[in-house]
Chain A
């Protein structure tokens, strides 16, 4: 399929682009103030924000990556899905309402609430940009690969199209356009995944057991066809029903689990969505909807992956003799063609592309806000920037981030997308998450503690990742990894907590006294919303 234009996909995608650009033009007329640009005026309802969060969070990496992983090795894909979901209850119980009550536009508003503004916001902005850039690279590379395969475009033009569209959405439509792009994408993706899972289950009389049994049969036949003895082939076939080689040593398994769960609660583009609702009650409602949609989506992905084992494995156009996919990550796409022919293939391809656009728009807006609202307005201008200047800086940053994302997308063309995503989660779990939790819940926390601990967490996560196999061996070509585990989080996250605690504990500066004294009032506002920024009305 590679190299040939896929006309149904291109037509459906063009329709999506036309619709989203029309929404952007409409949103641009309503985007007048900073509150509109960063937070859609705080006027998004809980239900709509829940869908937008789902659209912001369910990336093409999860849809295509997890279903392809299940296609390849079975059960392991479910471990990923669960990790991506279980952070959400924690966000609800510990953070969502407090974020809404304390902050206005960025999570740094909350992290720096009672602390010295410049140092804490500088840390938050840098750590936001780090998370956003790694996540953005993953999405750009994924987009490039996907579009090359699906639409027959070359990699560079694919990356440029994504970069241009996300710039248009964010630059002119700000958070209002971004929200609607995410909502439309969530509805399309959920609709697609539901149709595919329904079609798969229909073939098996809605019996998951029948689906699993057939998948094991297919995998057993594949193993036997490579020359394995019957019982060895059966063992290999049954291996898809349990955890496999994905997390071999216990330390990596726990570390990886921590990165996914706590990283979710530290992703700046996700935390930012809680400032788009009018109050804490709507923030709460939005997490319930988001958790429901995302959980439902991951269950569908599991069915789709197993459906692909049954319906895609036997087609020599898509897989080689050993049953491995010819084009990486495309199991769900081939399944779409097996189920609904070229038209449905086109539809699913277009939705996968739309999925990437919605995620990169959210990431870009979050990165731009960190630069304009945290670095420029607070650190550089010391709170004396006017709103128009701040918005201008934000828009310049959007363009700069888009150019950077295109350049990095080209430079990192060969990088493993899943690895980049897990790195972004590890950084968020080791920096933003400990900083937010301790600033919200520990009175003794001080400016110096937060800055020192957050920095230690982020740097340690980065250094350990560089020393691990993925970079030290696979990219830098050394013989053996210095850091032997798959994920740094089991070390870097506790290191951040410990550093914040130690430094705060022995911080006797005059500022520390102010920091601690601010806790009581911060807590009242976090719990009740008294004094919180309200929704702006048009």
Chain B
């Protein structure tokens, strides 16, 4: 029981820490923005598949390659790019904040 009380006290401390609020706000804003970009891009693509198949089948310039190829491959690359962006930001900006909170450093 003592351990649980310790932890509850520890959580109350973190909750009152402005760095925690900063972390949650910043990370929340960034992750939801990235999630929405991914959702819009993917369901935009699915909407094209659903409603306008001919647009994706249209050849680019005089080539055989259709518009759907760069769009599709682009979506795969976008997924990888967004995960990379998040990991870079988290390593650089969020981890130091989390570490400070975990150690219980005073500001």
Q: Does A associate with B in a complex?
A: yes
Q: Which residues of A contact B (CB under 8 A)?
A: 75, 78-79, 81-83, 85-86, 88-90, 92-94, 208-209, 212-213, 216, 238-239, 241-244, 247, 249-250, 253-254, 257, 261, 280-281, 284-285, 287-288, 291-292, 295, 298-299, 302, 520-521, 523-525, 527-531
Q: How many chain B residues have a CB neighbour from A under 8 Å?
A: 54
Which residue of the partner chain A has the closest CB to B66? A241
Tell me whether A298 and B76 are in contact in the complex, defined as CB-CB below 8 angstroms, given that A89-B35, A243-B49, A288-B83 are known contacts. yes
Additional 5 contacts, C-beta under 8 A, given A79-B72, A212-B69:
A88-B79, A89-B86, A93-B35, A281-B95, A521-B11
Known: A82-B76, A288-B84, A295-B77. A93 touches B46 (CB 8 A): no
By the criterion CB–CB under 8 Å, are A254 and B20 in contact? no
- Sample of 7 A–B contacts (CB below 8 Å): A90-B35, A212-B64, A241-B65, A242-B53, A521-B11, A528-B14, A529-B98
Contact of A89 among B7, B15, B79 (CB under 8 A): B79
Chain B residues with Cβ below 8 Å from A79 are 49, 72
Given known contacts A250-B50, A257-B43, is B68 in contact with A243 (CB within 8 Å)?
yes
Question: Do A247 and B50 have beta carbons less than 8 Å apart?
Answer: yes
- Tell me if A75 and B102 are in contact (CB < 8 A): no
Are A529's CB and B102's CB within 8 A?
yes
Contacts of B43 in A (CB 8 A): 254, 257
Given A216-B64, A257-B43, A281-B91, A93 contacting B86 (CB threshold 8 A): yes
**Chain B binding site: helix, strand, loop or mixed by DSSP?**
helix
Among residues of A, the one whose C-beta sits closest to the C-beta of B61 is A209
Contact assessment for A261 and B42 in the assembled complex, using a CB-CB cutoff below 8 Å? yes
Q: A524 and B15 in contact (CB under 8 A), knowing A75-B66, A241-B68, A281-B95? A: yes
State A261–B53 Cα separation when bound (angstroms).
20
Q: Which residues of B contact A92 (CB under 8 A)?
A: 83, 86-87
Which chain A residue has the least Cβ–Cβ distance from B104?
A530
Q: Which B residues, 45 to 88, have Cβ-Cβ distances below 8 Å to chain A? A: 45-47, 49-51, 53-54, 56-59, 63-66, 68-69, 72-73, 75-77, 79-80, 82-84, 86-87
Q: Could you tell me the distance in whole angstroms from the C-beta of A92 to the nearest C-beta in chain B?
A: 5
B50 and A254 within 8 A (CB): yes
Among the listed A89, A249, A250, A524, which residue makes an inter-chain contact with B82, where contact means beta carbons less than 8 Å apart?
A89
Please tell me if the beta carbons of B31 and A250 are within 8 angstroms of each other in the complex.
no
Main secondary structure of the interface of A (DSSP, over half): helix
Residues of B within 8 A of A247 (CB): 49-50
Contact A82 B75 (CB under 8 A): yes
Residues of B within 8 A of A (CB): 7-8, 10-11, 14-15, 20, 23-24, 27, 31-32, 34-35, 38-39, 42-43, 45-47, 49-51, 53-54, 56-59, 63-66, 68-69, 72-73, 75-77, 79-80, 82-84, 86-87, 90-91, 95, 98, 101-102
B83 touches A287 (CB 8 A): yes
Is the pair B31, A94 in contact by a Cβ cutoff of 8 Å? Answer: yes
A92 to B35 alpha-carbon distance, docked (Å): 9
Looking at B7, B39, B79, the one whose CB has the most chain A CB atoms below 10 A away is B79
Are the C-beta atoms of A531 and B7 separated by less than 8 Å?
Answer: yes
Contacts of A90 in B (CB 8 A): 35, 38-39
Contact of A285 among B8, B49, B65, B87 (CB under 8 A): B87
A326 CB to nearest B CB, Å: 28
Q: Whole-angstrom distance between the alpha carbons of A271 and B35 in the complex? A: 18
Complex CA–CA separation, A257 to B65 (angstroms): 24
Distance (whole angstroms) from the CB of A66 to the closest CB of chain B: 13
Contacts of A281 in B (CB 8 A): 90-91, 95
Name the residue of chain A whose CB is nearest to the CB of B98: A528
Q: Determine the chain B residues whose CB is within 8 A of the CB of A88 once the complex forms.
A: 79, 83
What B residues does A302 contact at CB under 8 A? 73
CB distance from B79 to the nearest CB of A (A): 5
| A212→B65 contact, CB < 8 A | yes
